[in-house]
């Protein structure tokens, strides 16, 4: 073999080696597929142990980027669920109908991710616990509010029309009952379940607990926030019942995922209702769909403040939807020490995403379809 051919063979060999090395660096691909005939923009979750298998490494690089085949970078969050270890990798992804995206990891500093979810305990406002995302905000009331003239019982909702996080700012100024361009709190909860809170139900009566007693933030953004609220035991007929609620809010979502864990003795089921307070003004629309698990309300307009849509969504169908104590009630039942999941939340017409009752019902129907058909994740 002459020098020219030897050099050519050497070049070919080096190209082959470099190509193999690049394949090793890319490793197996993470394939995220949308099997529905609608576009989706949401979080995809992959267990961290599986994530490590994808890239054939014993431990992930300290800093890495997730990119597709064109080099586009995807934002992610390492979810810990209150532990010291990573449990899931949450990937923010926009994916067209009936399509898939293939991702791989490369070492390097990822682009900064703007926080889109947030929660905190608010001791300066009677033990409130408040949380929000880029669409909507909520709060639950704490012990210090009990017995005051302004006491309230259920879930409060704040109308937002900004993607910015507002909880800290609004509490700092205390001026959040007037819209200064980003939204306001005009929702009236009173001694009701408010915007979809839940309670035991016996003899056609809602059996309210006291306000939450303990809080624990498990993850706090930037793309998903999860926290847990604990309630001291209370009497429900002949049962003593205690409860923990684990609430998760993702970026881009109008609804919370609420996981309930009731503890009580004696076996059997504990009847529950998740409620939405109904307004006395004319013009509201009630939405009931047992098979889709939807109990929702498009409120009457509140003057210049606009209109809120409120919803309760069952993970499966709902056995019954009734009206009592001035509230729309979605019926559930709990088994002791077994998790029960449902969804609650709302939308404001002035936010420009959902404008009327029909659009609200369409959103909830689509949301339920996505819950039942999560993004498919595979390794190739």
Render pLDDT for 214-249 as a digit per residue (tens, 0 to 9).
999 999 999 999 999 999 999 999 999 999 999 999
Beta strands in 72-181 (DSSP E): 73-74, 76-79, 88-95, 99-107, 117-122, 128-133, 137-140, 156-160
Q: What is the pTM of this model?
A: 0.92
pLDDT digits (tens, 9 = 90+) for 118-127: 999 999 999 9
Q: Which of 56, 58, 55, 57 is nearest to 66 (CA)?
A: 55
Q: Where do the H-state alpha helices sit in the chain?
A: 3-26, 48-54, 167-173, 357-372
Instruction: For residues 90-99, give the mean pLDDT.
Output: 97
- Domain boundary (56, 84, 111) is at 111
User: Stretch 331-353: mean pLDDT, rounded?
Assistant: 98
Same domain, 50 and 141: no
Same domain, 244 and 275: yes
Q: Which of 61, 76, 111 is the last residue of a domain?
A: 111
Does 349 reside within a domain?
yes
Q: Which of 111, 134, 169 is the last residue of a domain?
A: 111
Strands 117-122 vs 128-133: parallel, antiparallel or unpaired: antiparallel
Going by pLDDT thresholds of 50, 70 and 90, the confidence category of residue 285 is very high
Task: Kindly state whether residues 93 and 197 are assigned to the same domain.
Answer: no
What is the rounded average pLDDT of the residues 162-169?
A: 98
Average pLDDT, the chain: 92
- Our count of domains for the chain comes to 2
305 within some domain: yes
Q: Is 79 inside a domain boundary?
A: yes
Predicted pLDDT at 28: 82
Query: Is 19 inside any structural domain?
Result: no
Confidence of residue 98 (pLDDT cuts 50, 70, 90): very high
Distance CA 317, CA 186 (A): 31
Does 13 fall in a domain?
no
| 11 within domain boundaries | no
18 pLDDT above the threshold of 50: no
Between CA 87 and CA 54 the distance in angstroms is 15
What pLDDT score does 208 carry? 98
58 falls in which pLDDT band (50, 70, 90)?
low
What are residue 361's phi and psi, to 5 degrees? Answer: -65, -40
User: What CATH number is given to the structural domain containing 316?
Assistant: 2.70.98
- 274 plus 200 within the same structural domain: yes
pLDDT for the residue numbered 107: 83
Mean pLDDT computed over 202-224: 98
Rounded mean pLDDT, 270-292: 97
Q: Is the pLDDT of residue 303 over 60?
A: yes
68-82 per-position pLDDT tens digit: 999 999 999 999 999
Residue 286 has a pLDDT of 98
Same-domain pairing of 134 and 165: yes
Domain hosting residue 105, numbered range: 29-111
């Amino acid at each position: 073999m002459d020098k020219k051919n030897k050099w050519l063979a050497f070049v070919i060999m080096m190209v082959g080696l470099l190509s193999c090395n690049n394949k090793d660096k890319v490793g197996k691909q993470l394939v995220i597929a949308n099997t529905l005939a609608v576009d989706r923009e949401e979080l995809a979750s992959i267990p961290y142990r599986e994530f490590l298998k994808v890239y054939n490494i014993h431990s992930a690089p300290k800093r890495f980027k997730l990119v597709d085949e064109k080099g586009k970078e995807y934002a992610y969050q390492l979810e810990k669920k209150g532990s010291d270890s990573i449990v899931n990798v949450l990937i923010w992804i926009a994916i067209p109908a009936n399509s898939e995206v293939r991702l791989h990891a490369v070492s390097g500093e990822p682009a900064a991710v703007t926080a889109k979810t947030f929660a905190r305990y608010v001791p300066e406002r009677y033990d409130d616990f408040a949380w929000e995302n880029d669409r909507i905000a909520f709060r639950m009331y704490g012990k210090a509010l009990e017995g005051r003239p302004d006491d309230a019982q259920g879930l409060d909702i704040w109308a937002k029309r900004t993607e910015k996080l507002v909880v800290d700012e609004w509490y700092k100024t205390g001026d959040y009952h007037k819209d200064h361009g980003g939204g306001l709190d005009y929702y009236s909860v009173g001694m009701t379940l408010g915007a979809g809170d839940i309670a035991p139900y016996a003899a056609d009566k809602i059996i309210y607990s006291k306000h939450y007693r303990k809080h624990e933030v498990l993850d706090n953004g930037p793309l998903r926030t999860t926290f847990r609220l604990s309630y001291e035991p209370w009497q429900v007929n002949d049962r003593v019942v205690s409860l923990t609620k684990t609430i998760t809010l993702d970026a881009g979502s109008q609804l919370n995922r609420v996981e309930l864990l009731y503890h009580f003795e004696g076996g059997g089921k504990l009847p529950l209702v998740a409620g939405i307070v109904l307004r006395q003004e004319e013009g509201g629309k009630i939405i009931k769909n047992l098979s889709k698990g939807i109990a929702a309300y498009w409120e009457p307009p509140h003057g210049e403040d606009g209109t809120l849509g409120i919803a309760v969504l069952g993970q499966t169908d709902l056995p019954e939807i009734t009206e009592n104590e001035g509230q729309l009630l979605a019926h559930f039942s709990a088994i002791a020490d077994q998790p029960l999941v449902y969804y609650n939340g709302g939308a404001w017409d002035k936010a420009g995403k959902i404008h009327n009752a029909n659009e609200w019902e369409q959103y909830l129907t689509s949301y339920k379809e996505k819950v039942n058909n999560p993004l498919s994740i595979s390794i190739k």
